[in-house]
Structure 1
Amino acid sequence: MIKKRDIHESHGLFELMAHPEVFPFVRQKAHSAEELLFLTKQTLEAEERGELISRTIIDEWGAAIGTINLFDIENGAGFLGTWLGKPYHGKGYNQPAKEAFFEEIFYELGIDTVYMRIRKANPRSQKAAEKLPYAVLANETKKHIYDQLNAEGDIYNLYEITKDLYTFHKLRTQETIQEEALEA
């Protein structure tokens, strides 16, 4: 569902990123495949420096269909950025990609908190965030971050995912699965 980034995916990812329903919501925008290749090289270098974590979202055949990233890492926290190519919207790739990413960053890479800043004008991403049972709207509880994000106007909602909430969700889900297996 996810894998480490590879510069050889840049052309295919650019074609998916360039769609008008995707491009406005991509944080690392590229206006050509060559520019995305350059940005991907920079991303790989930034990851080596511990500034971000970036993975490619793949489909069941291993084709690159989008990216998932943790930007601005500081003190065990960072901002999530995810995009999928338009042909893959609504096909069930988003949540499994996030869960695979959270497994890695929370349990292997030492991240404790993930923030999601989502444009209020992006209902698709709002809906996706609200489907995550371990994501909490943090406009009030993290007001200082919310206010920084919205310094230029009322643009973003802020969501927070903590390692503890994610772990609790996993344990609760496993417990439900075990109970269902015993009842069967």
Structure 2
Amino acid sequence: MGNSLYEQKRFDDARKQYASSAKMATNKEVKADANYNSGNTLMEEKKWEESIQSYKAALKANPRDEEARYNLAYAQQMLKKQQEQQQQNKDNKDNKDNKDKKDNKDKKDEKDNKDKKDDKDKKDQDKDKKDEKDKKDQDKKDGDKDEQDKKPEPMPSKLSQQEAENLLKAPAQEEKKLQDKAKKIKGRPVNVQDW
């Protein structure tokens, strides 16, 4: 009856049937099977702690039941994973709360700093305008003189003629080495691309 209910995914009803079978069972194997199946219904509902208890009861009745041992290990692993995830979620929530508080403080500090900066920027702009005007006046006086002095000079080369030629020949030499190496490889022929 319990197996039939399990197939219909009526896990609570199936679990009740398995529990009554386990209580009435005189044979240890029947009792072990009932506890094992009860553990399966709990695992389907992700009730890891309860399923662990059912599998342990099944193993007490039949210590050689490898399927119960496997399911017990799986349920323990899933319980551990669930606890880690809950801890991580809690830590993330705490971090988010702390971040929100910090962000609010940072926004307030930023606004205060922006107001101070705006005042300073206005003063700096006034000073820059005055300096710019003074510089334009000075540039008008020195303009003709500077134009004659601004002829571009050629950059001296840091490489000798021989070094420059060697740099230009280096890729061709590397290509020749690769081609020679490819010809020496045994096996199927290698297509060498001529650049």
Query: Please, what TM-score do these two structures have when normalized by structure 1?
Result: 0.23
The higher-RCO structure (CA 8 Å, 6+ apart) is 1
- Structure with greater proportional strand content: 1
Larger radius of gyration: 2
TM-score, normalised to structure 2's length? Answer: 0.22
